[in-house]
Structure 1
Amino acid sequence: MRLVSHPVLCNYYVTYRCNAACSFCDIWERPSPYITLEEAKANLAALKQLGVKVVDFTGGEPLLHRQLDELLKECKRLGLLTTITTNCLLYPKYANRLRGLVDMLHFSLDSPEPEEHDLSRGVKCFDKVMESIQIAKSLGERPDILFTVFESNIHQIKKVWQEICKPHGLVLILNPVFEYNKVGSQLSPAALQQLRQWGKKSNVYLNDAFIQLRLDGGNHTDSPICLAGSTTIVISPENKLVLPCYHLGLKEFAIENNLYELYLSDEVQNLVALEGRLPACEGCAINCYMQPSFAVTINKYWWKALPSTLKYNRIKGTWKQLF
């Protein structure tokens, strides 16, 4: 049963540029402009009108956008929840400007060992993560640690949880690695079962539906779980609507200050109707689009996702704003 028919999330790419070179991501290789404040304000108003609840300002590295605080302020004015994930290289510089504007602030950390984390990210940034934790806490912020899980670092979860998250009162978000366009990798069934146990720990967030979907072989085009097109609006730095999702990028539509009408147009909705059914959708398990997909239709994945969703939003105090 479908509970919500309108989009609930916007993945707003402020730029594809990045000051890191992560081994499991290729977005930093793409040339890119930055979104403009004028276009973004018009788009945010349209997103609100379409029913979107959460705006994820992403990239690339979102803190490279020098007007990010203005974008966040506009979201706050419209009553939209905000989320940002950063490698922390620039957070100490901009922390004061971002204070109180990010509802879900995620600091990426893939290992408790500086050399291992820096190798994964292709740049020295471990020390910046540690510095950013201290700065954020001093400003009254409540960042989370986003830990992308690979076969090679799953054994490091315990140390990150015990030595970094627990002493600082931080939520540990476990983000199972996903594969797309020959980028990234997959986790073994044994690793997935190990992750499932970690999701039961205090102050650890792991969406168990991510695990179940992988054990089930990902999305299947004959009976799709993915609802990327109807739950998630993707906007590129070139101010284009991207469908069915960023990772497929099958078609782009110039927004031209017309996002509301464009999204509801027959051409866009006909493409939305193919969500999860395209050949490239077979076996997909991309977290960015599965999480909102799990939230809008009651099925076994909805029930799998529910406990962790309630747990995280209770801890963060954001659950009331989602309804």
Structure 2
Amino acid sequence: MLLVSHPVLCNYYLTYRCNASCSFCDIWERPSPYITLENARQNLRDLKKLGVRVVDFTGGEPLLHRQLPELLQEAKQLGLITTVTTNALLYPKQAEKLRGLVDMLHFSLDSPIAEEHDQSRGVKCFDKVIESIAIAKQLGERPDILFTVFEHNVHQIRQLYEEICLPNNLVLILNPVFEYNAVDTGDRFSEKALQQMAWWGKQKNVYINDGFIQLRRDGGNHVEDPICRAASTTIVISPENKLILPCYHLGLKDFPIDNHLYDLYRSDEVQKLVALEGRLPACEGCAINCYMQPSFAVEVTKYFWRALPSTLKYNWMKGTWKQLF
């Protein structure tokens, strides 16, 4: 049963540029412009008109965009929920300008050991994360720690939780790494690792969408009976101001927006591509979290029920549930 028939999330790529070079990401390798405030203003209005509730200003590194505060302010004025994930290298300098504008602020941290985290990010940024936590707390912000989980670092969840999250009263988000393109993400998750993540998801101030765990056990999306609703739930806008379909990672086609996002998204040409979501050959086995999370929320399936408790838990912890009604 379909609960929602309109997009609920926008992945708005401000730029593909990044000041880190993470081993499990290839976005930073792409040349890229920055989006313009003028285009964003019109696009945000159209996103609101299309029914989008959450705008994820992403990248690359979103804090590289000098007008990020203005972009966030535009979104907030429209009543949209905002989210930003950063490696925190630039946060200490920009924290005051971002204050009160990000509903879900995530600091990426992949190890409680500085050398290991810095190695995975290709740049020294562990200390900046720790500094950013202190600054954010002083400003009354409530950042989360986004921990990208691999088979080889599952055992570090406890140390990260006890040494960094608990003392600072931060929510720990467990983000299982996903495979795409030719990016090397290491070994696939064992059942033991999946069980460990599921157990941690039940602990205080820890979030993992339990639907992710079930999807991994089921081998990801299957084209004959797709769970993925990437194109109908999530609008992807590129730094070149193009609509990307059916999702960023597959990116079969892009359409210049030209200040007509609302009409473009509803056009027959776009909707024909939307109808192929989860059914294309490359969709087989896909388990990309950023597309599956909204997919689980719009249709009553077993994944909906697995995801519901953890989703409610996170929105309760963050207080964002108030903005969803």
Shorter chain as normaliser: what TM range? over 0.9
Runs of 4+ in 1 over 6 A off after TM superposition: none
Q: Distance in 1 between matches of 2:306 and 2:233?
A: 18
- Name which of structure 1's ranges 199-208 and 186-195 shifts more when overlaid on structure 2: 186-195
Distance in 1 (alpha carbons) for counterparts of 2:2 and 2:323: 20
The residue number in structure 1 matching 2:126 is: 126
Amino acid corresponding to residue 320 of structure 1 in structure 2: K
Q: Distance in 2 between matches of 1:78 and 1:199?
A: 32
Amino acid at match of 1:302: F
Q: Deviations over 1:157-208 (max 9, x none)?
A: 0001001000000000000000001214332222111111111110000100
SS at match of 1:194: helix
- Match of 1:235, as an amino acid? I
Consecutive unaligned residues of structure 2, counting only runs of 5 or more, are none
Native 8 Å contact 1:56 1:82 kept in 2: yes
State the TM-score, normalizing by the size of structure 1: 0.99
Partner of residue 306, structure 1 = 308
- The alignment partner of 1:148 has SS state of strand
* Distance across 2 between alignment mates of 1:305 and 1:213: 11
1:233 alignment partner in structure 2: 235
Structure-1 separation of matches of 2:235 and 2:200: 31
- What's the counterpart of residue 215 of structure 1? 217
Q: Give the distance between the partners of 1:190 and 1:123, measured in 2 at CA.
A: 31
SS in 2 for 1:35: coil
Pair 1:50-2:50 in alignment: yes
Q: Distance in 2 between matches of 1:54 and 1:135?
A: 25
1:13 aligns with 2:43: no
TM-score computed with the length of structure 2 as normaliser: 0.99
Residue 151 of structure 2 corresponds to which residue in structure 1?
151
How far 1:295 moved relative to its partner? 0.4
> Matches of residues 102-117 of structure 1 in structure 2 within 5 Å?
102-117=102-117
Deviations 1:208-230 (A, max 9, x none): 00000010000000000000000
Q: 1:276 aligns with which of 272, 275, 278?
A: 278
Question: Is 2:123 aligned against 1:138?
Answer: no
Within 2, Cα distance between the matches of 1:196 and 1:228?
A: 24
The letter of the residue matching 1:57 is F
Measure, in 2, the Cα distance between the counterparts of 1:238 and 1:187: 35
Deviation digits for residues 77-113 of structure 1 (CA, Å, limit 9, x no counterpart): 0000000000000000100000000000000000010
Residue by residue over 1:52-88, the C-alpha shift from the partner in whole angstroms, topping out at 9 and shown as x without a partner, is 0000000000000000000000011000000000000
Provide the alpha-carbon RMSD of the alignment: 0.6
- Give the count of matched residue pairs: 323
Residue identity matched to 2:30: R
Aligned to 2:226: 224
Q: Structure 1 stretches of 5 or more lacking a match?
A: none
User: What is the correspondence of 1:44-83 to structure 2 with a 5 Å cutoff?
Assistant: 44-83=44-83
Inter-partner Cα distance in structure 1 for 2:304 and 2:227: 10
Aligned-pair identity (%): 78
Equivalent residue of 1:179, what SS? coil
Give the Cα–Cα distance (whole angstroms) in 2 for the partners of residues 61 and 187 of structure 1: 27
Partner of 1:200: 202
SS at match of 1:183: coil
Once residues 68 and 83 of structure 2 are traced to their aligned partners in structure 1, the CA distance between those partners, rounded to angstroms, is 12
Equivalent of residue 293 in structure 1, options 289, 295, 305: 295
Q: Deviations over 1:227-248 (max 9, x none)?
A: 0000000000000000000000
